[in-house]
Amino acid sequence: MLDLSGCIVTIDAMGTQKKIVKQIVQQNGDFALALKKNQGILYKKVQEAFELARKNSFATIKHEETKMVEKGHGRQETRAYWIIDDQSIINTLNENGDWEKLRSIGMVESERVIGEKTTKQTKYSILSIEGNVEIFSHAVRAHWGIENNVHWILDVAFREDLSPIRAGNSAHNFALLRHIALNLLRKETTTKVGIHAKRLKAGWNTNYLEKVLMGGSATSLP
């Protein structure tokens, strides 16, 4: 139901599905979707495309790249971004046209230095953006910022990382419920306390719980 015109949809690898891509395109949006190894063939093809391109120093391959360094709080983080929109490579990755509006692939290499500890990570994406590494890098940073903030709140207020729920689809189902609860608690603004305190209050006070569930507009229960 969303109007996605002029928007770039970013989703973790769980949402990198052909049906979701088709819906984004039908609603006039663009996408920057993450890939993970469990996605098999597509991940491997994108990884191999970048490995071959770097081996040949991106010779004759249409691409863009940029790098940024951030320092603060005792750490230094370097992120390098590449985007390949070479049509011959994209055609090879999307031979049957199953990934609608696929125009480029992206890679991010991040290196974080904290004291004497260095960690490195490489991530790949599929994109409907063509030839603009700055837009790609902005979309990735914005997505990571939201994800990191949400994860921190879910861990502190809901103890998500300590949850023993693992059987079947239960972990995914409860994750969705926590996100719904978090959004409802954020929407209720009359109580000037943190999410954890709001959650406790909702558990102790039925009237306040109804107010949260009704988006902050409920009256007291009889």
Q: Tell me, yes or no, if the pTM score tops 0.75.
A: no
Phi and psi at residue 167, to the nearest 5°: -65, 135
Average pLDDT of span 34-41: 82
The type of residue at 15 is G
Q: 184 in a domain, yes or no? A: yes
What pLDDT score does 220 carry? 44
Q: Does residue 149 sit in the same domain as residue 168?
A: no
Decide if 126 contacts 42 (C-beta within 8 A).
yes
Say if residue 180's pLDDT is above 90: no
Decide if 157 contacts 196 (C-beta within 8 A).
yes
Q: Does residue 94 sit in the same domain as residue 138?
A: yes
Q: How far apart are CA 105 and CA 116, in angstroms?
A: 33
Say if residue 222's pLDDT is above 60: no
Q: 17 in a domain, yes or no? A: yes
What pLDDT score does 216 carry? 60
Say if residue 205's pLDDT is above 60: yes
Q: 41 in a domain, yes or no? A: yes
Average pLDDT of span 168-185: 80
Q: How far apart are CA 67 and CA 142, in angstroms?
A: 16
What pLDDT score does 219 carry? 47
Q: Does residue 128 sit in the same domain as residue 191?
A: no
Decide if 63 contacts 88 (C-beta within 8 A).
no
Say if residue 54's pLDDT is above 50: yes
What pLDDT score does 131 carry? 77
Provide the pLDDT confidence category of residue 80 given band limits of 50, 70 and 90.
very high
Specify the number of domains making up the chain.
2
**Mind listing the pLDDT tens digit for each residue in 145-154?**
555 555 656 6
Q: 70 in a domain, yes or no? A: yes
Say if residue 221's pLDDT is above 50: no
Say if residue 109's pLDDT is above 60: yes
Say if residue 162's pLDDT is above 80: no
> Residue written as tokens 């010779």?
59
CA 87 to chain centre: 26
Q: How far apart are CA 32 and CA 124, in angstroms?
A: 10
Say if residue 55's pLDDT is above 50: yes
Structural domain that includes position 62: 8-160
